Structure 1
Amino acid sequence: MTGKYKFLLVDDEPDIREIYEIFLSNILGKDFKFHFFLNGEECMKFMQNNCTPEDKVFVITDINMPVMDGFTLLKNLKESFQKVEVALCSAYDTNDYKCKGRDLGAIEFLPKPVDFERVASMIEERISS
């Protein structure tokens, strides 16, 4: 997996997957693929079973979700995976959320509704690295 990123999206709204697929395939092309999970626990299980600490992984996660929220997921990912990059996404665009995310190691805070051009740009930066 050297030099390649895995892209993961975590959101408890199943319809979000389709929205991301439509927008990102229009911007990045139909060959672009990502893994989708409905909560942080599903994402952690995938990471533990399919990734090493050295793998390059980019995660965009909602914050408010059942089972495991985005902050807990971010904390757990940063403890276990050295090269993981996490962007937090929420409809609650507050300084408290932004500061907590930054303190836990998030690289970006994306307010909802999501700016798909910004997301595509973040992904393109990683594809070309």
Structure 2
Amino acid sequence: MSTYIVVVDDEPDVESMFRQQFRRDLRSGRFVMEFALSAPAALEQVKSIPDPSLLLILSDINMPGMTGLEMLPKVKAERPNVPVIMITAYGDDATRKRATELGAAGLLPKPIDFGLLRREIDERLEGAA
């Protein structure tokens, strides 16, 4: 059974950046990354991935239409055991507090520190094994 990570960001170049950073993991089948360009699309993807395959959701906060913070309680209602890490260029204390209140497992500032993200993913994969 595959392990999935869903990445939600309205910027189309995010997918290629993540695929490049995690190319060895993806090629080896260590996990699968799914990408959504909007919060509503991500909610549909999350519904289609079977339990307990979904390991982690990474979501941008600032997106047109439904923001990541608006999506967060919806995704937590659908999949309460799946951690959601919010990604933002605006990592101020108010944003961090709001994300935590809504159930985020963490907040990653942009530009993304892929070394830190890799450690986070490794820990979750080890915990799921």
Give 1:30's match in structure 2, choosing from 10, 27, 37.
27
Unaligned runs of 5+ in 1: none
Which amino acid letter does the alignment assign opposite residue 114 of structure 1? I
**Structure 2 residue 26 is matched with structure 1 residue 18:** no
Offset, 1:67: 2.6
Offset, 1:98: 0.2
TM-score, with structure 1 as normaliser? 0.87
- Cα offsets for 1:62-98 (capped at 9, x unmatched): 0011232101111101112121100000111111110
Q: How many residues align?
A: 125
TM-score, with structure 2 as normaliser? 0.87
- Partner of residue 100, structure 2: 102
- Partner of residue 63, structure 2: 65
Offset, 1:24: 1.7
Percentage identity across paired residues of the two chains: 28
Distance in 2 (alpha carbons) for counterparts of 1:48 and 1:56? 10
- C-alpha RMSD over aligned residues: 1.8
**Which aligned runs of 4 or more in structure 1 are off by greater than 4 angstroms?**
none
Distance in 2 (alpha carbons) for counterparts of 1:56 and 1:49? 10
1 or 2 for the larger relative contact order (CA 8 Å, sep ≥6)? Answer: 1
Unaligned runs of 5+ in 2: none
Distance in 2 (alpha carbons) for counterparts of 1:36 and 1:56? 13
Which amino acid letter does the alignment assign opposite residue 109 of structure 2? P
**Structure 2 residue 82 is matched with structure 1 residue 79:** no
- Partner of residue 48, structure 2: 49
